Amino acid sequence: MEDRKPLPGLTLPGFSRRRFVQGLALGGAAAALGAWPKLSWASTAPGQPNVLSGTEFNLDIAPTPANFTGHPTVAHTINGQLPGPILRWREGTTVTLRVTNRLPVQSSIHWHGIIVPADMDGVPGISFPGIAPGETFVYRFPVKQSGTYWYHSHSHFQEQNGPYGPLVIEPAGPERNPTERDYVVMLNDWTDVDPARIFAILKKQSDYFNFNELTLPDFLRDTSMLGLRGALQVRAMWNQMRMSPRDAIDVSGFTYTYLMNGATPAGNWTGLFKPGERVRLRFINGSANSYFDVRIPGLKMIVISADGQDVHPVTVDEFRIAVAETYDVIVQPQEDHAYTIFAQSIDRSGYARGTLATRTGMEAEVPIMDAVPTLTMVDMMGAMAQGHGMSNMQGMDHGSMSGMDMSTMQGKHQGAMPGMSLDPAGMKKAHHARTEYNNPGVDMHVDWPRTDLNDPGVGLRDNGRRVLTYADLHSVEGPLDPREPDREIEMHLTGNMQRFVWSFDGVVFSDAKPVHFKFNERLRIVLCNDTMMNHPIHLHGIFSELENPQGKVIARKHTINVQPAQRVTYAVTADNPGRWAYHCHLLYHMEAGMFREVVTA
């Protein structure tokens, strides 16, 4: 194992941990932040406009000097900006985008969530050969949808370094939810460390970047709650499985600086409003590896769109946005003061923040981050834990586990505890592929995954705020296809945390055969998460129609997050022929093997 030695950008002379997390007030990648009457980064920001609209676009991917942390480095930018320019299209038009690669290595652009012909999807080795250094590739396709999306490189680790940007498509008809102000709020994770170096470290020591592990004070607290025997048994259980109840994400804020519209927390991106105005905020999680829990203290948020698709409005205090997801919300501030847009990372190791204000320079108090979340028995055992009253056990934080022989727990292999029923009423048993067994790349099976779409997830349960869940999402337009699925494909999200191997059904991409869809068939995808991490799963070229536990379509999405030990189903209509990427959108999981090719023919 590799010791936690300082990495470039992690420890700098005279550079405090707080200063690193917040970033520099004047950092960036030559960001040209400008105004636009309707849609903008910030209506008072200096510089050139960074909103490109129309049907003809020229985009350059190039290296650009950057400094977010006090450590000069190089970002991969689009038209010299990070994030790249907002591209504004209109439904019903045909767009032409000439993308020139000025990097010394191959590059690409994928139009995330956009339904395009397969050869325009922008995935090297699947959709096209990629864009060689010095070459220009012309993307041309009709725009068949509206809403909030984004675009990014799909070449190796480049997405971590900056080739990404927002994409807003106006509807062909009137806007369903008109507002007086309209802002994009793009969230990203920046690191000065070479992402290939990060990946190599994760392969050697998967918890290298996790500084929030349980400590002696945690053990003493657990001993007071569970007794010495109970606390030792729980620790022994986690150690036997070679897992940690604090493994919420692979790379943390001790390495990342979190950005909002290219601004560090100290940079404080600001959007202006007048009291009483309806303000639309188009949240995009363009991170490589980070989940954010978003709230605006003092304001309710009305969620009106998910992944570019309008949903029936739902009012919340907070929402979790997985990597690659988008959510549009409306807020209506009544007071003449500032409000903080607060996006804390899922592991509470850092945050992005910005401000809504009536005047430039105003700031509001930045909330203290919530407590570091600890995975529960539900996150490890799914419905088995729910069925036996262990839903609220926070690993070593809550509940009484004395009397349970945790040292003989076989969760690593079975996902069940000795003495428990293997066929509990009302639970649907998972069907594991043969490739999941006797496999050093699989360290855990969940036989009885949970189906609770109304669970906000670890760190958000019972926090006193109204938190959005997938169960709240109901598309305005209903299913794309009224047919019932006549075929079902069950796939398991698998991995070995210690080895940092991630896969579908225990098979990494390099060893996997393509998944075949019959053209125009209606089928159901069943995803069972056999791991203790969240996975945002993205199917290119075809919308995924999320179903409730009863099999009814509720929401149309392009990226579906599957929580630990959870079973999620969605319907797809294979009406877009070609070869498509299908993968976890955590960049390092995708690179480690959680990727498939889907062939529709």
* SS3 assignment for 105-132: CCECCEEECCCCCHHHCCCECCCECCEC
Check residues 408 and 348 and name the one with the higher pLDDT: 348
Please tell me the least confidently modeled range out of 143-147, 276-280, 385-389, 467-471: 385-389
Question: Would you place residue 446 in the very low, low, confident or very high pLDDT band (cuts 50, 70, 90)?
Answer: very high
State the amino acid at position 554 in one-letter form: I
Residue 136 half-sphere exposure, CB side, CA atoms within 13 Å? 11
Q: Is 597 helix (H, G, I), strand (E, B) or coil?
A: strand
Q: Write down the residue that tokens 């010095």 correspond to.
A: 134
Structure tokens at 481: 């296809």
Bond into 83 cis (ω within 30): yes
Alpha helices in 349-463 (DSSP H): 377-381, 383-387
Nearest CA to 540 out of 321, 328, 326, 324 is that of 324
Kindly state the average pLDDT of the residues 30-59: 59
Please tell me the least confidently modeled range out of 294-298, 416-420, 453-457, 464-468: 416-420
How far apart, in whole angstroms, are the C-alpha atoms of residue 61 and residue 81? 10
Please list, in sequence order, all residues whose beta carbon lies within 8 angstroms of the beta carbon of residue 552, skipping any fewer than 6 positions away: none
Kindly state the average pLDDT of the residues 580-584: 98
Decide: 212 and 372 in contact? Cβ < 8 Å.
yes
Please list, in sequence order, all residues whose beta carbon lies within 8 angstroms of the beta carbon of residue 330, skipping any fewer than 6 positions away: 177, 179, 278, 279, 280, 281, 301, 302, 304, 313
pLDDT (tens digit per residue) in 497-519: 889 999 999 999 999 999 999 99
How far apart, in whole angstroms, are the C-alpha atoms of residue 455 and residue 396? 20
Q: What is the pLDDT of residue 234?
A: 64
Check residues 245 and 155 and name the one with the higher pLDDT: 155
Q: What is the pLDDT of residue 427?
A: 65
Q: What is the pLDDT of residue 426?
A: 55
Give bridge partners of residue 142 from the DSSP assignment.
94
Is a pLDDT exceeding 70 seen at residue 196?
A: yes
CB burial of 552-584 (b: ≥16 within 10 Å; e: otherwise) equals: ebbbbbbbbbbbbbbbbbbbbbbbbebbbbbbb
Kindly state the average pLDDT of the residues 138-154: 98
Q: Write down the residue that tokens 């009224």 correspond to.
A: 482
How far apart, in whole angstroms, are the C-alpha atoms of residue 211 and residue 218? 14
Is a pLDDT exceeding 80 seen at residue 126?
A: yes
Torsion of Cα atoms, 295 then 342 then 151 then 472, to 10°: -10
Kindly state the average pLDDT of the residues 5-15: 43
Check residues 247 and 132 and name the one with the higher pLDDT: 132
Decide: 185 and 43 in contact? Cβ < 8 Å.
no
Decide: 198 and 588 in contact? Cβ < 8 Å.
yes
Is a pLDDT exceeding 90 seen at residue 537?
A: yes
Q: What is the pLDDT of residue 469?
A: 98
Q: Is 301 helix (H, G, I), strand (E, B) or coil?
A: strand
How far apart, in whole angstroms, are the C-alpha atoms of residue 479 and residue 555? 8
Kindly state the average pLDDT of the residues 4-31: 47
Q: Is 569 helix (H, G, I), strand (E, B) or coil?
A: strand
Structure tokens at 159: 């997405």
Q: What is the pLDDT of residue 559?
A: 98
Kindly state the average pLDDT of the residues 249-255: 93
Find the angle CA(591)-CA(202)-CA(376) to the nearest 5 degrees. 100
Q: What is the share, in percent, of the chain residues with pLDDT greater than 70? A: 79
Question: Would you place residue 207 in the very low, low, confident or very high pLDDT band (cuts 50, 70, 90)?
Answer: confident
Kindly state the average pLDDT of the residues 328-342: 97
How far apart, in whole angstroms, are the C-alpha atoms of residue 99 and residue 82? 16
Q: What is the pLDDT of residue 58?
A: 98
Question: Would you place residue 250 in the very low, low, confident or very high pLDDT band (cuts 50, 70, 90)?
Answer: very high
Biggest alpha carbon–alpha carbon distance for the chain: 68
Question: Would you place residue 215 in the very low, low, confident or very high pLDDT band (cuts 50, 70, 90)?
Answer: low
Question: Would you place residue 407 in the very low, low, confident or very high pLDDT band (cuts 50, 70, 90)?
Answer: very low
How far apart, in whole angstroms, are the C-alpha atoms of residue 31 and residue 25? 13
Question: Would you place residue 245 in the very low, low, confident or very high pLDDT band (cuts 50, 70, 90)?
Answer: confident
Question: Would you place residue 44 in the very low, low, confident or very high pLDDT band (cuts 50, 70, 90)?
Answer: very low
**β-pairing verdict for 136-142 and 94-101:** antiparallel
Kindly state the average pLDDT of the residues 483-507: 96
How far apart, in whole angstroms, are the C-alpha atoms of residue 485 and residue 480? 12
Handedness of CA 106, 321, 150, 523 (dihedral sign): positive
How far apart, in whole angstroms, are the C-alpha atoms of residue 601 and residue 599? 6
Is a pLDDT exceeding 70 seen at residue 389?
A: no
Q: What is the share, in percent, of the chain residues with pLDDT greater than 90? A: 73
Q: What is the pLDDT of residue 397?
A: 31
Q: What is the pLDDT of residue 417?
A: 32
Give bridge partners of residue 137 from the DSSP assignment.
99
Is a pLDDT exceeding 80 seen at residue 420?
A: no
Q: What is the pLDDT of residue 211?
A: 75
pLDDT (tens digit per residue) in 219-239: 666 667 667 776 666 666 666
Residue 458: its H or E element: none
Please list, in sequence order, all residues whose beta carbon lies within 8 angstroms of the beta carbon of residue 183, skipping any fewer than 6 positions away: 39, 40, 41, 42, 271, 279, 280, 281, 282
Give how far Cα 443 sits from Cα of 161, 189, 308, 437, Å: 31, 28, 36, 9
Decide: 7 and 54 in contact? Cβ < 8 Å.
no
Kindly state the average pLDDT of the residues 147-170: 97
Please list, in sequence order, all residues whose beta carbon lies within 8 angstroms of the beta carbon of residue 596, skipping any fewer than 6 positions away: 504, 509, 512, 514, 515, 581, 582, 583
| Average pLDDT in the chain | 85
Structure tokens at 123: 């995935």
Is a pLDDT exceeding 80 seen at residue 46?
A: no
Residue 236: its H or E element: helix 216-241
Give bridge partners of residue 480 from the DSSP assignment.
none
Mean pLDDT comparison of 367-376, 394-403, 589-598, highest-scoring range: 589-598
- E-assigned strands of 39-146? 39-40, 51-53, 56-66, 73-78, 86-90, 94-101, 110-112, 136-142
Q: In what order do the strands lie in the sheet with 501-504?
A: 501-504, 487-496, 522-529, 567-573, 544-547, 553-557
Query: What are the percentages of helix, strand and coil residues in the chain, rounded to 5?
Result: 15, 35, 55
Give the global pTM: 0.88
Kindly state the average pLDDT of the residues 335-342: 96
Decide: 212 and 347 in contact? Cβ < 8 Å.
yes
Kindly state the average pLDDT of the residues 73-99: 97
Is a pLDDT exceeding 70 seen at residue 23?
A: no
Give bridge partners of residue 152 from the DSSP assignment.
110, 164
Q: What is the pLDDT of residue 248?
A: 85
Decide: 582 and 597 in contact? Cβ < 8 Å.
yes
pLDDT (tens digit per residue) in 254-272: 899 999 999 999 999 999 9
Nearest CA to 182 out of 329, 303, 313, 339 is that of 329
pLDDT (tens digit per residue) in 87-103: 999 999 999 999 999 99
Question: Would you place residue 217 in the very low, low, confident or very high pLDDT band (cuts 50, 70, 90)?
Answer: low
